[in-house]
């Protein structure tokens, strides 16, 4: 069994997959990379097969799978004791894998995540030193869950910033794909039933802010609705760790986000009306 598996679920990722894979393969560590092309219609499969590197194992779906099923399959196709899932448009920064593997040598830690930065479509840094508010250092599951519910998954960071243990992934039941946007932090919260969460102060991953990723192509209403369902479900499942007040705080955060979005759209509509009258 390989000690570490990097799982890269990819769908129509030809624009970014090569950059993502190179950021992984440039890491100074031994690992395997399972790339799962989810029946893409672009050159994703060709790019995955173009790497002459024994660590890269390309796989292909004959039909398009729902995202949760596809991510679970990507993990199932790998064999490492430790697992990291990297979306096909994000990147790892130098030293990311070694830092997290060294940390997870402590068997009491179930999941580790680092801070992150945001890059644009060309790879330029837009923001840096983001994520993990109030979660640096070792944290029990309750602290992680309460922070995610109160602050929201976006403040936690991208999937690529985290690493977890396969045994805990399997015990938790893997990714739950019925709620797409909080799918990764939902898993991280649940695997921490089996050990500590550790928030790392170093910046080890980058999330790409692009016009072609899933987040950009989904409505705000859909995302806010999923977030509400997520933290209410987590509250029901872990009433001993998440208080009603935590869930209400999450609700208020979503209401504020919805109102702010409405304000921005109203202002845009007003400007468009005024321009049309000129």
Structure-token pair, residue 204: 């080890």
Cα(75)–Cα(6) distance, integer angstroms: 8
Q: 125 exposed, middle or buried (CB, 10 Å; 0-12, 13-18, 19+)? A: exposed
Average pLDDT for the chain = 91
Average pLDDT over residues 81-89: 97
Cα(180)–Cα(213) distance, integer angstroms: 13
Which residue ranges make up each domain of the chain?
Answer: 4-210
Comparing 24-33, 92-101, 181-190, 213-222, the range with the smallest average pLDDT is 213-222
Q: What is the pLDDT of residues 30-74, one digit of tens each?
A: 999 999 999 999 999 999 999 999 999 999 999 999 999 999 999
Whole-prediction pTM: 0.89
Decide: 9 and 85 in contact? Cβ < 8 Å. yes
Q: What is the pLDDT of residues 165-183, one digit of tens each?
A: 999 999 999 999 999 989 9
Comparing 41-55, 73-87, 205-219, the range with the smallest average pLDDT is 205-219
128: pLDDT confidence band, cut at 50, 70 and 90? very high
Q: What is the pLDDT of residues 227-277, one digit of tens each?
A: 999 999 999 999 999 999 999 999 999 888 877 776 666 655 555 655 555
Decide: 68 and 177 in contact? Cβ < 8 Å. yes
How many helices, marked H, and strands, marked E, lie in the chain? 9, 10
For residue 1, pLDDT beyond 50: no
Quick count: other Cβ atoms within 10 Å of Cβ 108? 10
* Homologous superfamily of 4-210: Spore Coat Polysaccharide Biosynthesis Protein SpsA; Chain A (3.90.550.10)
């Amino acid at each position: 069994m390989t000690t570490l598996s990097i799982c890269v679920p990819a769908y129509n990722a030809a624009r970014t997959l090569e950059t993502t894979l190179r950021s992984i393969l440039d890491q100074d560590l031994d690992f395997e990379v399972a790339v799962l092309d989810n029946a893409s219609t672009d050159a994703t499969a060709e790019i995955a097969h173009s790497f002459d590197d024994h660590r890269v194992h390309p796989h292909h779906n004959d039909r398009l799978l729902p995202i949760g099923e596809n991510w679970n399959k990507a993990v199932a196709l790998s064999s490492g004791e430790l697992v990291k899932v990297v979306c096909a448009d994000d990147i790892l920064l130098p030293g990311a894998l070694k830092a997290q593997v060294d940390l997870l040598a402590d068997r009491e830690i179930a999941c580790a995540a680092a801070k992150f930065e945001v890059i644009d479509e060309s790879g330029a840094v837009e923001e840096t030193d983001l994520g993990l508010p109030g979660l640096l250092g070792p944290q029990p599951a309750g602290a992680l869950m309460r922070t995610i519910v109160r602050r929201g998954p976006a403040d936690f960071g991208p999937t690529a910033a985290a690493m977890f243990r396969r045994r805990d992934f399997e015990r938790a039941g893997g990714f739950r794909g019925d709620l797409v946007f909080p799918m990764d932090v939902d898993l991280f919260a649940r695997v921490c039933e089996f050990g500590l969460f550790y928030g790392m102060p170093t910046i080890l991953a980058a999330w790409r802010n692009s016009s072609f990723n899933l987040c950009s192509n989904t409505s705000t209403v859909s995302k806010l609705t999923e977030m509400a369902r997520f933290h209410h479900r987590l509250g029901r499942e872990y009433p001993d760790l998440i208080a009603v007040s935590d869930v209400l705080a999450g609700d208020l955060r979503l209401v504020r986000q919805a109102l702010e979005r409405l304000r921005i759209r109203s202002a845009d509509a007003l400007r468009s009306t005024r321009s049309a009258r000129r």
